[in-house]
Chain A
């Protein structure tokens, strides 16, 4: 069955550094992958979507890469700030019937803390 793994449950970095979060998937090849941010007690918020034929996607200080050979997506936040502290979730589409209907499979998330 498809499996999503995010590199660690928690990542702590100093303000100004680049945060790199990893999402590995196994047993299938998603056509795209989404990244979400979730603050405590709130619903996730969509950040970026990257397709399998796109190596890299950027949005302001965010950058996502998609390596179909390594079966991995990397999520980078450059010049990180304490306000970036949150849980980040990767979400490829699910396998099987309905997979094109926006049914996503969410990783457990990586909790990022940026300290001053």
Chain B
């Protein structure tokens, strides 16, 4: 059973545009929602994370929007740049409930065209 569904699988955005990646989860007990960024040939790295008591978190050009009632969260990349081209994974966890593991979405390959 896939607990975190991510869409789209791939995305092409023009330079300067907004990239939007969506995730939906099933377990209402999840208490931590990170996004990881992975460049080719590298391991994933934490990009930004949010807890469910906050509806939005912004770090530079990256924003997480969180909708608890809809059990959805999304990553917005403003003014997308070619250097943002990477694979993005959303994830969810019960980390504040004492569990250690992350459940990942299947990933979105983002290509920002010059």
Chains A and B come from one and the same complex: no
- Give B residues with C-beta under 8 Å from A: none
- Give A residues with C-beta under 8 Å from B: none
